[in-house]
Amino acid sequence: MRLDILTLFPEMFSSLEHSIVGRAQNSGKINVNFHNFRDFATNSQKHVDDMPYGGGQGMLLMPQPIFDTLASFPHEKARVLMMDPAGRRFDQKFAEELAKEEQLVFLCGHYEGFDERIKTLVTDEVSLGDYVLTGGEVAACVMIDATVRLIPDVLGKKASHEDDSFSSGLLEYPQYTRPEEFRGLKVPEVLMSGHHENIRKWRLSESLRKTLRLRPDLLEKYELTDEERKILTT
Ligand code: ADE
């Protein structure tokens, strides 16, 4: 997958050099390119923002540097994602959709926002959540991390993402590793029983109860099987 990131602050993406995303870069599974759109500003002071017509607070990114930056590299088939708190909410399903693309372009703004005409270049306006960040860089890092780990063979076989919270529509069940008892806190006995069917049932029950407790909104969208309905009503 090719990633192109339009930003005034490429150094904010250093997290992508580490851990799993870093390894994906080193092994060539992803290829990350940065484009500082200040380099494309045509005015003598290299300004990329200006005041809004009609008045108002803050500065807006001007169209020219963004249009020219995007024209400087091939992106005909790319998803062009604008980081914007007013965009579609990013979630696991969106990450799964993006992981299938050949090229993603991330447009990271600062200041109050974007000149509306920049949106003619964009396929998706995307938000990380209902809060305002100082810029789109942190949001893009999160989206890249969540997307890249879903590209085939980026996670090892052992660290499969199929059981992740949200992949199934439920939160993941609790997990334990050694020792069997730590400071008086014991591992549930069923997990050491070797009884696969009982372990499956326990995990399903814990997943359902955890989701009901912490994220009841997820259950509203989830189609319960007969077995799951029974667990929740007993
Ligand atoms: N830029 C500023 N806030 C943002 C958010 N919540 N999501 C995406 N981009 C942003």
Domains recognised in the chain with CATH numbers: 2-148 (3.40.1280.10), 181-233 (1.10.1270.20)
- Integer CA distances (angstroms), 23 to 16, 218, 219, in order: 9, 32, 35
Q: Are 78 and 104 a contacting pair, CB within 8 Å? A: yes
**Which residue CA neighbors atom 2 of ligand 1 most closely?**
133
For residue 137 and ligand 1, the question of a CB distance below 6 A is answered with no
Rounded to an integer, what distance in angstroms lies between the CA atom of residue 95 and that of residue 192? 35
**Is the reported ipTM for this assembly greater than 0.95?**
yes
Residue owning tokens 């002071």: 45
pLDDT digits (tens, 9 = 90+) for 88-127: 999 999 999 999 999 999 999 986 799 999 999 999 999 9
* Ligand 1 site, residue 132, Cβ cutoff 6 A: yes
- State the binding site for S-adenosyl-L-methionine: 109, 128-133
- Residue 102: active-site member: no
According to DSSP, the β-strands at 2-6 and 31-35 are: parallel
Does ligand 1 have an atom closer than 6 angstroms to the CB of 140? no
The amino acid that residue 154 corresponds to is V
Q: Is the CB of 63 under 6 A from ligand 1?
A: no
Chain segment 140-186, per-residue pLDDT in tens: 999 999 999 999 999 987 567 877 888 889 999 999 999 999 999 99
Cα(101) to centroid(ligand 1), Å: 22
Q: What is the pLDDT of residues 1-41, one digit of tens each?
A: 999 999 999 999 999 999 999 999 999 999 999 999 999 99
